[in-house]
Structure 1
Amino acid sequence: MPINSLIKLIVFLFLTAVCIFGLQPFQASVDASKTLVEQEGIYANEVKRLSDGTYLVAVRTDMPDVKAEMVRWWFKEFLQTSEQYKLWHPKDHIWMNWENKKPGTIIGASHLVHEYIGKDLNKLRINFIDPSEFFGYDPNDINTFVLCAQVGYLLESLNIAKMCHIIRDTKKGSEMRTRFWLGHVEERGIKNNLISIQELIGNTSLARLFMVTKEDAEDLKKHAEEEMKYLSEILPNIYYSNSTVKQ
């Protein structure tokens, strides 16, 4: 093969690979550790397309008069009905239920929800997992509550995103830092370490460019900002009215 033709072939294959896999196909985009910053108030609120085609959605929420323990109680003990779920976002939250939920724990439970994100009603399954799968260790302590999950379709055995909430106590209450990574496709259930066709195609940059739009990411950011603001406003009264811990 002539050298010019060989160079053209190499360039074509390179550009095709970039188109499909991104410029850094083996770089992990799930940068959960950035939620662990020690300084208050510096965590960025942003929506950003990453090099692998996924979208990062980051949200910081100041929660005056709310402590990490109160948010832990909300998820592990209190939240059980659709009526309670609607308190969290009266406009967007429609319905909820649990699978594999045990009192006092959240890991291994699946939160089944119907909620509006933007104009669309989303029917989702939020599978809460051990935070060590994100961080390599469990960062929970007395002043910090960490909640991590894989998010998928309710009626299909397919996850489409990852998320992490970190609530850390501050002098005035707490600060919640949230990260979503949209476009991580994974089939739920026993996999035997095999990659499905859906995962193989869905996790390419090219597929992610079509599957996840900036509008999707912006809508999620707005929804998260609103629901966590609602939570910071309603939680103190609910907590002290229902919990055995008194103010």
Structure 2
Amino acid sequence: MRKWKGGFMAKRRLGYSDQDMASSPYARFFNPHMAPLPEHVLEALSKGVVAQELLPPVSQAEAMQEEGYALIENGYTITPDGAGRIACLTRMPGVLPHMWAWWFAWHGSEALRYKLWHPLAHVDVAWADGRSDLNHYVGRTSRIVEYLGARCMHVWLRFVSPAVLGFDESRLSARGEVVICGRGGIAGLPFEAVWLVHHIRPVVGGSEMRSRFWLGGANVHPIGMPGPVGRAIGLLAAQTQRYTATQAAEMMIHDAQEMNHLAAILPDLYATFGPGR
């Protein structure tokens, strides 16, 4: 496994090299030409910041498992404590929810897999436990290098059970739905600062993904320090780097790009490298 230096992965390279294209089993799926953003995402970006009440906090994440849609499925806001909240909807013809559960376990073992997801922004990835090709992701931590806009970010993401955020996993399973939840932060800093949820549910002709991100503000906690003292320290730390509307919009754009791009190739990827292949 590659070593991190000062909390950062030492190896960085965007895209596939000529050697990668010639020798990687994934090369035929690597496409650096990304489709334009969907119209519903462009419309949300054109509206700018929305009222914070339209994008609830992570404490209400479990409401995503209800039928129908939220008032805002595409948009972003900044709360008074400097947190960013982002929502994005991805429509995925021909994709089944279980393919995404497989993908989140599979992609984190190799950078060349990770780069398929967003060929213009993903740089490197590795599991913190040093193991590869396990068939699960919950309980594991992914170490990631990627671009958000023009910023090269070194982050970690720990996948947690949907039950942690109040989701009824039996109910989700009965409906053929998948919910991916993660808690993350910036490499080298002793804080958890991010929550994310991807809710994938079947629809006619495929599935749809409803993504949510909660960044900074009240979402910041010192690692291993729960309770009121941890919350107070987290809020103080969050004030040193308040999120901006530009950063929230960049997160929404990144999510829309990577999810739409991968959705176009995920059925073929799953058929080629999925369970039993």
TM over 0.5: yes
TM-score after normalising by structure 1 = 0.78
Q: Is the 8 A contact 2:197 2:213 kept in 1?
A: yes
Q: Deviations over 1:195-247 (max 9, x none)?
A: 246414135xxx28x5111111000000000000111011111101122469x
Q: Is the 8 A contact 2:82 2:242 kept in 1?
A: no
Matched residue SS, 1:211 = coil
Structure 1 segment 23-42 matched on structure 2, within 5 A: 29-30=57-58, 31-39=60-68
What is the aligned partner in structure 1 of residue 234 from structure 2?
199
Note the C-alpha offset of 1:154.
1.5
What is the aligned partner in structure 2 of residue 181 from structure 1?
214
**Structure 1 residue ranges (4+ consecutive) displaced by more than 6 angstroms after TM superposition:** none
Structure 1 segment 80-159 matched on structure 2, within 5 A: 80-100=109-129, 103-135=134-166, 137-138=168-169, 140-141=172-173, 143-159=176-192
Determine which of 240, 247, 251 is the counterpart of 1:220.
251
Matched residue SS, 2:204 = coil
What is the aligned partner in structure 1 of residue 197 from structure 2?
164
Between the aligned residues of both structures, percent identity stands at 27
Amino acid at match of 2:183: Q
Matched residue SS, 1:141 = helix
Q: Deviations over 1:116-160 (max 9, x none)?
A: 001100100011112112125435415111111112011222121
Q: Is the 8 A contact 1:111 1:127 kept in 2?
A: yes
The structure with the larger Rg is: 1
What is the aligned partner in structure 1 of residue 79 from structure 2?
50
Note the C-alpha offset of 1:55.
1.8
How many angstroms apart in 2 are the aligned matches of 1:89 and 1:136?
28
How many angstroms apart in 2 are the aligned matches of 1:43 and 1:37?
14
CA RMSD in angstroms comes to 2.6
Matched residue SS, 2:220 = strand
Amino acid at match of 1:177: R
Amino acid at match of 1:36: Q
How many angstroms apart in 2 are the aligned matches of 1:71 and 1:159?
24
28-37 vs 225-234, which moves further:
28-37
How many angstroms apart in 1 are the aligned matches of 2:70 and 2:264?
19
How many angstroms apart in 1 are the aligned matches of 2:71 and 2:265?
25
Q: Deviations over 1:35-74 (max 9, x none)?
A: 3242379762001123554221000000111100111111
Which blocks of at least 5 consecutive residues in structure 2 are unaligned?
1-55
How many angstroms apart in 2 are the aligned matches of 1:92 and 1:192?
33
Note the C-alpha offset of 1:82.
0.1
Matched pairs, number: 215
Matched residue SS, 2:189 = coil
Note the C-alpha offset of 1:92.
0.3
TM-score after normalising by structure 2 = 0.70
How many angstroms apart in 1 are the aligned matches of 2:57 and 2:69?
24
